[in-house]
Structure 1
Amino acid sequence: MTSNPTTPAEHADAVSTLLAPVLERLADEARAELVTLTPGAAAGRVLSVDVLSPITVPPFTNSQMDGYAVRAADLASATADSPVRLRIGETSAAGDAVHAHIAGTAAPVMTGAPIPSGADAVVPIELADPPRFIGIGNDAGGDDQPESPADTTVGFHATVEPGAFVREAGADLAEGSMILPAGTRLGPAQLGSLASAGVTEVRVCARPVVLLLSTGHELRAPGDALQPGQIYDANTASLTAAMEEAGAMVHCAFAPDDAPAVLDAIAQHPDIDVIVTTGGVSAGAFEVVRDALEPAGVRFGKVAMQPGGPQGLGAARVLMGEVERVVPVIAFPGNPVSALLSFEMFLRPVLRAAAGLAPSRRMHRAALAEALSSPQDKHQIRRGRLRADGSVEVGAPGSHLLHDYARATVLVHVPISVAALPAGAEVEVWRIDE
């Protein structure tokens, strides 16, 4: 970073460049992890290799509907005026083994149940006469009478095409075919698809491990008693959630306003990929992160942004465990809004892209509900709420107003060189409520 303020776009590019080697190493197959597909274990992870199906899905031909399995040829003469009546055959329920179909019968078949061997179509129950099963299920009073009475018949008023409402074996997947390609993020549908093929474990890309280091004598953990001059630490909670949502693993640490304490906290976490700090980056008398990490190679300066102007960035040579390593450091301001907005602008897109997620927030333009002013030499980011008419109501600009941020639905961007905008002027907004 230079002595002159950089633009937010320039700083975002610098962050991306700094982290590129780390993320490239994580994408290496040698770093991939084998995870078991137990509930919650793989959700959100990204496949490092293609996954092939070990079985045919579905493994047997089954019915798409509750109805009657028939031979289409047996209904070839059916019309509304001259229905065909067939004797009711053996019932096929979900989980039953496949049985042989007797020509000239209509076999009750339930959704997902095997199609009897020899039947080639299913007539939905609502199209049969009567439009209900006779002597089975609820009509029979339970499982004690699973089949229809002998010689009971059912009528059909129309022909049926072979294959109607029949789901063939392998319709979803053939054995050995690809279920999901490498690079796929595992969400609900993807995990369900793997489960349906009996897959129990997959190889996924390694996640970046981030050390989140909050600094400041004044900070206390929520739940601790506050003494005069002390505040609760909000950055650890907000940034941990933000980075985990973006696909990172987060280790949290705290250091008071003491440079050796900062270095000691880093040394206690030898297996991390990236260091993110909050606080101690400006030009005050107790800028602990700057004091500790500037000699190690991190550069500090200003970004033309409000809030979030003071920033630090660089590859730091530090002791981690008992080994000296060079680790990328991204240093954010300590004010909670400044820290969270810095993450939104500079780190979130890089982490999400590496995790196979859309890197950017959904953006659009909205009319200002009221006029606003902005520092002409800074890119200002304001928190706002969309109104029912589509206009945006903009909140106060203060970097300490975290509760205002928590109630916001959008971030409002006022670019450099704009000093004031009237009500009705259009601004770029990022949705943060999705």
Structure 2
Amino acid sequence: MSNQHYEATYLVETPLPLAKVAEVIAGEQSCGTFTRVEGETDELRARARATVVSVRDLGEVEQPSMRSAWLDRKGVRERSRRGEIVVRFPIANVGMNLPTLAATVAGNLFDLGEVTGLRLESVRLPGSYRRLYAMPRQGIVGTRRLTGRSDGPLVGSIIKPNVGLSSAETAALVGRLCEAGLDFIKDDEIAADSVHAPLAERIPAVMAAVRRHRDRTGKNVMVAFNITAETDAMRHHADLIAREEGTCAMVSLNWCGFSAVETLRRSTDLALHGHRNGYGALSRHPALGIGFLAYQTLWRLAGVDHLHVHGLGGKFAQEDAEVVASAKDCITALCDEDDRVMPAFSSGQWAGTVEQTYRAVATTDLLFMAGGGIMAHPGGPAEGVASIREAWQAVEAGESIADARRRSPALEQSYAFFGNG
């Protein structure tokens, strides 16, 4: 792959010849359409048309994943096959334009009549092209610096109840969670600029609690305020966070869009905590949508610093192998600069999911968040945090969790309370 091109890999399902469908994809997403048109010269095609790099047949499927009215009209009755297709695109067709890049590698492809399934699995960019886009302002290194946590995982929690607390009640809870020993606290994705706790009121109240804790202990807890909204409103609230000495803003990526997040990135040095809520609609079907490797590549071009990957043994539908692969994608550089982002583990996490997480990802460059696993601990939030930290210390030291439980009341309580499901 040259510096003038980027590549996308697709899982394709079709009853038509895979090579033919690969050419349809290459043409449809560059200079072509279903037939050659006036002005589509050989010179233009040589310069602007995408090309098929490879086609790998993965075999026949029992049933098509989706129905296609186009295939029905054509009377196609053959069984579908799946294949992996790699297509190379000219960078000049896109330039530095993230929404158009996304529209090119995904866009109308999901609606193509020729396919009964299509999934974008990865996007591979030359380093010179990746560097045109935003880098994370904080990433792993900056997040560690801002929280003062130089090693080990960052332990975090989520404001619970999700919504309904007033600004004062939220600030009081944050103060209690700071005292419990957390590195990171975040809003829930459905808690943004609510009537009962507007951001203009909640941000100063919460940050006053954070500063009081910092002044007493020297520890600066990172709070990710959910500022998801219209772009100008997000910028306004990011400015307020910065004025109040905050360090992080959370954004629901799928609902704000690339352009809004790019604009926000340009206007603030805050760590941007990228929440992927809604991603299941893009990814959950194995033959449709966008895989996380491609998804995180695109969002990293927007300049986020953290990305959610869900959690091992958690409450969501993803297999553990997918969670692990997603975390490893986040901590793999896209170019020769440190553009890694911090994977954020959450959903059903507690001390009992620490060991499998560490064994699987083999790193502590991560954010390990537990809501109920901390706040529902029978000894209270401080014991919930202690149970998680002690579990991490044990596995990092090569100690068995069984031995750690014998010497740690907080860890033993956690297993006794949560370990039965």
Smaller-chain TM-score bracket: under 0.3
Q: Which has the higher helix share?
A: 2
TM-score computed with the length of structure 1 as normaliser? 0.24
Greater C-alpha Rg: 1
Q: Which has the higher strand share?
A: 1
TM-score computed with the length of structure 2 as normaliser? 0.24
